[in-house]
Structures are given as C-alpha cells and as structure tokens.
Chains A and B, each alone.
Chain A
Amino acid sequence: MSAQLTATDTAALSVRGLGKRFGSRVAFEDVTFDVGYGEVFGFLGPNGSGKTTTVRTLGTLIAPTEGSATVAGLPLTPENGTEIRSRIAIMPEAPGLYLKLTVAENLRCFADLYQVSDPADRVCWALGAMHLSDRAGDACGALSKGLRQRVALARALLSDPRVLFLDEPTSGLDPSAARDVHDLIRELRRGGVTVFLTTHRLDEAERLCDRVGILSTQLRTVGRPDSLRDEMFARSLAVTLRAPLTDPGLVFGATPSVDGWRQAGPASYLLAVADPEEMAPAVIRSLVAAGVDITSVGESRHSLQDVYLELLEKKATSS
C-alpha cells in the first residue's frame, strides 16, 4: 500500500476549505468541517445550496476546484477514488434503479460491483433490513416510489460502508417506512458507521443527528442542534395565563431576574431570563402574588427550523 493510501483514522470526514465551481458559477465554497466515526451528521440547506454537489465531491464523482478533504481515512485525490468508493456508499436522491430488473437482480449487480464476499447472503440481509424480502422477485419498475427508495437504501447497505451518504433517504416514504429508516440509521450509528445525512426535514435532522451543518453555498454553521439554538436565541420562559394582564410591565418589571418581556399571544408572554429552570419559581410567585390564574409556565424551546430560518434570513439580509 502506498504512503498516500495510509489511512488516517482520526475522522471519518475531514474537510478543509473545499469548494467547487462550474465555470464562473460557485456550487459551494470554503467548506470546512469534521465528522467523527459513528457520528450522524446532518447536512442542511435550501435547494441549490450545494449539498448534493458536496456529497458528489466527497464521493469522488466530481473533482473539487479548491480545498482538500479526507474521506474514510484517505485523502480525496483522483488516485484514491476507487479505494475511497470501496469504503463508502452513497444513496443519491433519485433511487436510480434498473427498472427492468428485479429487486434481487439490482442488488446482486451492486454486490458484485462492491466485490462483497458471499453476495447472496448479503443481498438477503439487505432485503431483510429494509423489509423487502417478499419483493425480491418484483421488477423495480413495478414498485412504488417509496419501495424504490427502500431498494436504493438496501443497495447502499450492501458494502458495509464506513461512511454512508444518504441524500433525502425518507423522501417519498410513508411514516412507518420513514421510522424504519430512522431506526436503521440509529442502528448503523451503534455499529460505528458514519452517516452523512442530507435532508430537508429539519425534525428528522433534529431527532437523528449528533451535529448538523447548514450550507448555503458557504457553510453557515456547524454544531449540535441544542447548542446552535442556545447560541442563536436568548433563553426564555413562556407564560400562559387564563386572562391577559392589565399591566404586564408592572408584574414582570417587579420580578427579579426577568431581563425583558414581550407578548406572544392574547394571554401569553415570553420572558427573557438567564436560566429558565432556575427563574420559573420566582416568576410563578410574582404572578400568584398579583392574583393571576396561571395556565402554564415553561421554557420556550426554539426548534432547529428556527435556527435554520434565522441563519438563512441573516444571509439574505447581508447579501
């Protein structure tokens, strides 16, 4: 094995200033992040933000025009293309199956392309993992969109990859099939497989991903979903009362440690506090002292969607 092929096993993906231009058009640029082994990394961004091109670049399908990367322990160079592709698997957004062939024939072809040992067993396993065993003999052209998506996922599992790139894996799946995919991703993570998940479903990313990156030609942010929320939004306490306060400033202004407040609904208020959990009892006491009927008090949690939209709005404003 050449020196260039020596694996550096510190990160499953290590990307430094990576970029791709098609002529004068920038697909993505200056992208830097690391993904550890066994991590589920969500890659989010609007349509046309460069997510798919990034995946194709890391999958050695297209060559970067700037920067460098290490994929599954190997430097991203044309010479390492075959070896990198044998260590990873990519499930593209479109299933791209041979529609005239059966499900089993499709999988068998790819098992041979990956030179899987004992391909028949591996195909059986992949069919079972995606609950497709009873459809093995069906032509792919006769399957629904959701079933085709499952076949594509089964195909991506054949090679037992170290890094699995999934581009919108639950697109077109019914809730039950989507849950199966989520369970599978968790199982893969437990097995040490790195999952690079490109998705538009932010709830999915929030539930599954250890960390997320938000791309809009450039990488806007990388972090854990809860850390990103804390970084971007002040923590607040949501208070809902039975009836609106006649003078909220008087009540909340007199409450220690409430830094500010705003009305969120007819009888709902958001209070800016340093630590919602610590401050909740004091707020409740003030409200009770004011003779108000309280319906609920709790921390107001921003979703990953709030983070996502905030970042993209910031970008739109700045440009």
Chain B
Amino acid sequence: MSRISVRRVKAIVVKELREYRHNGTIVVSMGILPLLLCVQPLIVVFGLSSSASAQLRHEHVLLYLLIIPAVVPSVVASYSVVGERLQGALEPVLTTPITRAELLLGKAAAAFLPSVLVAYAVFGVFVGLVEGFARPGIAASVIIAPDLIAQLVFTPLLVGWSIWLSIAVSTRCTDPRTAQQLGILAMAPTAIITVVIATHGIPPTLLVALSAGGALLIFNRLGWTLASRLFNRERLITSTR
C-alpha cells in the first residue's frame, strides 16, 4: 500500500469545507436537524416537576442526544461522492495522483470535523439550558458524570461510523437526496439502539458501554473497508454497474 500524503488529504478537506460553506442545503440541514432532535428531550426535561427527579434515575435523557452524531453526519457524507460526480468534478480529481485512501480519508475528515463540532455544541447548549432553567433537582438528575463521559466518548465513534456508511452509500447512488435518505436509513438501527439504552431498555452499565465502544470501533474499521471496496474509479467514471 502506498504512503498516504497528508498534503493531498488536507487539500480535499479544505476543498470540502469550502464547498459546505457555500452549500445552503448542507448548512441548513446541519443546523436544523440537531436542533429538532434536541427539542423533544428539552420539552421532557422542562415539563418535569421537581418531584420527578427520582423517576429520571431510570432514564438517561443525555443519551438521547447521541442520536445527533449518529444521524447528522449522513447529511454531509452522503453528498460527498455523488455530489461531486453529478457536478462532473470527480473525474478531474481522479486523474490526479491522489489514491483512493487519500480521497476517502479527506472526505471523511471533512465531514467528521463539523459533525463532531455540531454534536458537542448542541450538547453544550442542552446542558447549559437544563442547568440554567430546569426545575430544582432536575438538572442534578439529568446531568450525571457517566452520561457526560458517554457523550464525549461515543460522539466521535458514532460520527465515524455514520460517515463511513454514508460515503459507502454515496458511492453507489446517482442522486444526492436518495443518498442522504439511504444514509440516514442505514443509521436507523444504531439510533434505535441508542434510544433503547437511553430509555433503560438495555441498562447502560459499564459492560454495555465497553461493548458498544468496542463494537463501534470495529464498525468504523469495517465501514472504512466497505467504503474503499465500493469506491471504484472505473464504475464511478463510466457509470457501469
């Protein structure tokens, strides 16, 4: 395997970030989707009376927010290959010495940075609102150290998994909207498991956390392999199946 050129990866990251900035659909989707996902937990938390704090011991509201890193990256990553292909800009890039690994890493890194930032930012806003405006006792029940740590650790892992799946979908689609919908659909099982854990359907013990972390690491590796396998220069250029 040839060595990966950081400069080429960086060139793709810079280019992708510039394109995101100019793409209204992506900017709006990345802003609105996390806010919508955070409204429901806020309504639940603000609707609770002080006496309900005991009830929250069996619910992990913060973990609901892990749906954001699971779903939001699909918006950008699903667009990455199919969008460039539709513009006709993929062929010129593929005529350069860039390798498949460099191109995919660049695209993944470009989607990773804003997705993680958005997820952490929304999480921070949520914690700030709960801390500042929830009824007495509620904040202490919602904002607990294990869930905070889970949020910090699982966010990048979920973002990575979501990105690789979405890039894999993007290499096989011919329409960006279909790619985005399929990308989000592909992450549905992960989002459902997150909800089940948040609602205590699966108690979020240390063993569950370690197992989930290990599984996500493996999924990230498998996702990278899947995206690499599906990214075929010849098929992307000639549109043959």
- Interface set of A (CB-CB < 8 Å, partner B): 22, 53, 56, 59, 61-63, 82-83, 85-86, 88-90, 92, 94-101, 105, 109-110, 112-115, 152, 155, 159
Contact = CB atoms under 8 A, between A and B. Distances in A.
Interface in B1-57: 2, 5, 7-8, 10-12, 14-15, 18-19, 22-23
Contact of A113 (B11, B90, B238, B240): B11
Nearest to A159: B96
A59 B91 CA distance: 11
Given A62-B238, A98-B87, A109-B14, 4 more contacts: A22-B240, A61-B94, A112-B11, A115-B7
B22 A100 contact: yes
B99 interface: yes
Q: Chain B, interface size: which category?
A: 20 to 34
A311 B12 CA distance: 46
A31 to B, nearest CB: 18
Nearest to B2: A82
Contacts of B96: 85, 110, 113-114, 159
Contacts of A152: 92
B92 A115 contact: no
Contact of B97 (A62, A63, A105, A114): A114
B88 A85 contact: no
A99 B97 contact: no
Give the residue among A61, A86, A88, A99 with the most B Cβ atoms within 10 A: A61
A159 B96 CA distance: 9
Given A112-B8, A112-B10, A113-B11, A96 B88 contact: yes
Contact of A85 (B18, B87, B89, B95): B95
B113 interface: no
A297 to B, nearest CB: 52
Contacts of B87: 96, 98-99
A98 B98 contact: no
Interface of B: 2, 5, 7-8, 10-12, 14-15, 18-19, 22-23, 87-99, 233-234, 237-238, 240
A214 to B, nearest CB: 23
A101 B93 CA distance: 15
A99 B92 CA distance: 13
Contacts of B234: 61-63
Contacts of A22: 238, 240
A91 to B, nearest CB: 8
A59 B15 contact: no
B81 to A, nearest CB: 14
A98 B89 contact: yes
A113 B238 CA distance: 22
Contact of B22 (A89, A101, A113, A159): A101
A97 B95 contact: no
A59 B5 CA distance: 20
